Amino acid sequence: MKTSALRAFRRKLAANTPVYGLWVTLESPSITEMAVALGVDWVVIDAEHGHLDWKEIVEHLRATVRSDTVALVRVAQLDASLIKRALDIGADGVVIPWVESAQQLRQAVSYARYSPEGIRGIGAERATCWGQCFVEHTAEANENVLVVPIIETIRTVPQVPLMTQVDGVEVFFFGPADFSATAGFRGQWEGPGVADQILSMKDAIRKAGKHCGLIASSEADLGARNQQGFRMIGLGIDAGLLIRSLRSSLEAVQRSPRMTAAMQPVTSPPPPLERPPESMRPDRPEVMNAVGSGQRVELTPGVTFECLVGKHNQAKDLTTGWVSFDPDATLPYHTHPFTESITLLGGSASVEVEGRKYILGRMDNIVIPKGLAHTARNLSSREPAVFQVSLASDNPVRTLVTQFFPRRAMPADSTGVPGAERVNRFATAPRFAAGPNTQFIDFFNEKLIPGIEMSGGYGLFTPGGRLPAHVHDFDESICIISGDATCVVEGRRYAMRDGATALQPRGRVHYFINETDTTMEMLWVYAGPVPERIIVDERCATEEGNPWR
Spatial separation of the C-alpha atoms in residues 549 and 541, rounded to whole Å: 12
Strand partners, 214: 233
> CA-to-CA distance for 362 and 537, rounded, in angstroms?
37
- Exposed / middle / buried, residue 407 (Cβ in 10 Å: 0-12, 13-18, 19+): exposed
Q: pLDDT-based confidence at 257, cuts 50/70/90?
A: low
Nearest CA-CA partner of 456 in 292, 313, 318, 282: 318
- Average predicted confidence (pLDDT) for the chain: 94
Domain that holds residue 156: 3-248
User: What is the pLDDT, as a whole number, of residue 261?
Assistant: 75
Determine the Cα–Cα distance for residues 143 and 114; give it in Å rounded to an integer. Answer: 10
Using a 10 angstrom Cβ sphere, with 0-12 exposed, 13-18 middle and 19 or more buried, the burial of residue 419 is: exposed
Is 267 inside any structural domain?
no
User: How confident is the model over 109-162, as pLDDT tens digits?
Assistant: 999 999 999 999 999 999 999 999 999 999 999 999 999 999 999 999 999 999
Yes or no: say if 387 and 344 are a contact pair by the CB < 8 Å rule: yes
Q: What is the pLDDT of residue 220?
A: 82
Whether 168 and 295 share a structural domain? no
Domain annotation covers residue 273:
no
Q: Could you give the 3-state DSSP secondary structure of residue 351?
A: strand
Claim to verify: residue 97 and residue 147 sit in the same structural domain: yes
Strands 470-471 and 492-497: unpaired
Assigned domain for 261 exists: no
pLDDT tens per residue across span 99-123: 999 999 999 999 999 999 999 999 9
Q: What average pLDDT score do residues 40-52 get? A: 96
CA distance 397 to 404: 21
Confirm whether 270 is domain-assigned. Answer: no
> How confident is the model over 452-474, as pLDDT tens digits?
999 999 999 999 999 999 999 99
Tell me: pLDDT of 303 over 90.
yes
Same domain, 219 and 300: no
Give the closest residue to 390 by CA, choosing from 436, 321, 316. Answer: 321
Write down the pTM of the prediction: 0.56
Tell whether 429 and 288 lie within a shared domain: yes
Residue type for position 212: C
Count the neighbouring beta carbons within 10 Å of the beta carbon of residue 130: 10
Mean pLDDT of the region 234-248: 92
Instruction: Give the pLDDT of residue 267.
Output: 58
In whole angstroms, give the CA distance from residue 458 to residue 64.
45
| Structural domain includes residue 256 | no
72 lies in some domain? yes
115 in a structural domain: yes
**CA-CA distance, 345 to 523, in Å (whole number)?**
10
Please state the domain count of the chain.
Answer: 2
Query: Percentage of the chain with pLDDT > 70?
Result: 98
- pLDDT attached to residue 114: 97
Q: In what order do the strands lie in the sheet with 330-335?
A: 399-400, 330-335, 374-378, 349-353, 356-360, 408-409
Residue 433 is predicted with a pLDDT of 87
Query: Residues 200, 59: one domain?
Result: yes
Give me the mean pLDDT over the 163-180 stretch. 97
pLDDT at 269: 63
The pLDDT confidence band at residue 255, using thresholds 50, 70 and 90, is: low
| Residue 522: strand pairing partners | 459, 480
Tell the burial category of 247 from Cβ atoms under 10 Å away from its Cβ (0-12, 13-18, 19+): middle
CB 273 within 8 A of CB 533: no
40 and 120 fall within a common domain: yes
Residue 50 has pLDDT above 90, yes or no: no
Phi-psi group of 382: left, alpha or beta (phi > 0 → left; psi -120 to 50 → alpha; rest → beta): alpha
- For residues 243 and 290, state if they share a domain: no
- The stretch 439-447 carries a mean pLDDT of 94
Final residue of a structural domain among 248, 272, 289: 248
Buried b (16+ CB within 10 A) or exposed e, 56-79: bbbbbbebbeebbbbbbbbbeebe
CATH number of the domain where residue 35 is located? 3.20.20.60
Give yes or no for residue 247 having a pLDDT over 90.
no
pLDDT digits (tens, 9 = 90+) for 55-77: 999 999 999 999 999 999 999 99
In a domain, residue 158? The reply is yes
SS (H, E, C) 439-463: EEEEEECCCCCCCCCCEEEEEEECC
Rounded Cα gap, residues 32 and 46, in angstroms: 12
- Which pLDDT band holds residue 283 (cuts at 50, 70, 90)? very high
Quick one: average pLDDT of 7-20?
A: 97
Contact predicate 236/245, CB 8 Å = no
Tallying the residues shown for the chain, one arrives at 549
Domain with 485 in it: what CATH number? 2.60.120.10
Q: How many CB atoms lie within 10 A of CB 124?
A: 12
Contact 339, 392 (CB under 8 A): yes
Which of 228, 248, 268 is a domain's end point? Answer: 248
Give the burial class of 170: count Cβ atoms within 10 A of its Cβ; 0-12 exposed, 13-18 middle, 19 or more buried: middle
Mean pLDDT on 481-495: 97
Cα(104)–Cα(468) distance, integer angstroms = 47
336 and 453 belong to one structural domain: yes
Are the CB atoms for 535 and 269 separated by under 8 Å? yes
Pick the last residue of a domain from 248, 267, 288: 248
For 392-414, the pLDDT digits (tens) are: 999 999 999 999 999 999 999 89
Q: What are phi and psi of 243, to 5 degrees?
A: -65, -40
How many C-beta atoms lie closer than 10 Å to residue 500's C-beta? 22
478 has pLDDT over 90 = yes
Q: Are residues 313 and 458 in the same domain?
A: yes
Give the mean pLDDT of 318-345: 97
Give which of 519, 432, 436, 534 is closest to 484, Cα–Cα: 519
Q: Which regions of 92-210 does DSSP assign to beta strands (E)?
A: 93-96, 146-151, 171-174
Instruction: Give yes or no: residues 143 and 243 share one domain.
Output: yes
**Helix H or strand E encompassing 492:** strand 492-497
Q: Are residues 423 and 482 in the same domain?
A: yes
Pair 243, 298 in one domain: no
Rounded to whole angstroms, the Cα distance separating 226 from 222 reads 6
CB 238, CB 23: distance < 8 Å: yes
For the segment 436-452, the average pLDDT, to the nearest whole number, is: 93
Phi-psi category of residue 83: left, alpha or beta, with phi > 0 → left and psi -120 to 50 → alpha = alpha
